[in-house]
Amino acid sequence: MVGRRLSRQDGNSKPAGGVQLSYKPNGKLTFNYSNYIGTEGLNAVRVNRIYQNFYAIAQLTAQFGLTAGFDYGTQQKVKGESAKNEIISPVLIAQYKFDPKWAIAGRFEYYKDKNGMLITTGTTNGFQTKGYSLNLDYAPFNNAVVRLEGKLYDSKDKIFTRNTDMVNNNATITASIAVAF
């Protein structure tokens, strides 16, 4: 969900909000819809933004699950006019648990923000990027996960920096620890 601020933006007197609806018809399926509806910018120039997120999780077996999602957002280009910028972002994730404490997952995502509504690049095609990732998770406890992840981003324009050159792709390997309390 896009709504990142916890307090009203200085100079913007309009409230913003959102809703989340989740439906679990059984222990193997989850459907979720959430949104953000509000205004962005100072009162004099503020524009309306609507951002929506849909996803479904299907735990097909005890070991294998799929997640499919889709984000769609619009924002007025100019206050008082109907022309809008838009964002689309589909995602597909497959996870396989080969041991109660170990899992592997792959992810494909695409993000299209051609006019820089959320991600400004200053390039002809804006932020139009595909992402691929593969991760290995280890859960030493029920409330903790250690993750090793490799990611590759491939963009339509040269938006990433490698040394001093602008390039179309970026690769990273990261490690993280997450603990829930």
Kindly state whether residues 111 and 65 are assigned to the same domain: no
Domain limit, last residue, from 37, 52, 86: 86
Domain that holds residue 27: 1-86
The structural domain count of the chain equals 2
Domain limit, last residue, from 86, 115, 135: 86
Kindly state whether residues 71 and 112 are assigned to the same domain: no
Per-residue pLDDT at 71: 96
Percent of the chain with pLDDT over 90: 75
Per-residue pLDDT at 81: 84
Which residues in the chain come in under a pLDDT of 70? Answer: 1-9
Kindly state whether residues 104 and 76 are assigned to the same domain: no
Kindly state whether residues 124 and 165 are assigned to the same domain: yes
Kindly state whether residues 122 and 78 are assigned to the same domain: no
Kindly state whether residues 7 and 51 are assigned to the same domain: yes
In a domain, 91, yes or no: no
Overall pTM > 0.95 = no
Kindly state whether residues 66 and 114 are assigned to the same domain: no
> CB under 8 Å, gap of 24 or more: what pairs does 170-178 form?
173/148, 173/149, 174/147, 174/148, 174/149, 175/146, 175/147, 175/148, 175/149, 176/146, 176/147, 176/149, 177/144, 177/145, 177/146, 177/147, 178/144, 178/145, 178/147
Kindly state whether residues 126 and 82 are assigned to the same domain: no
Per-residue pLDDT at 79: 86
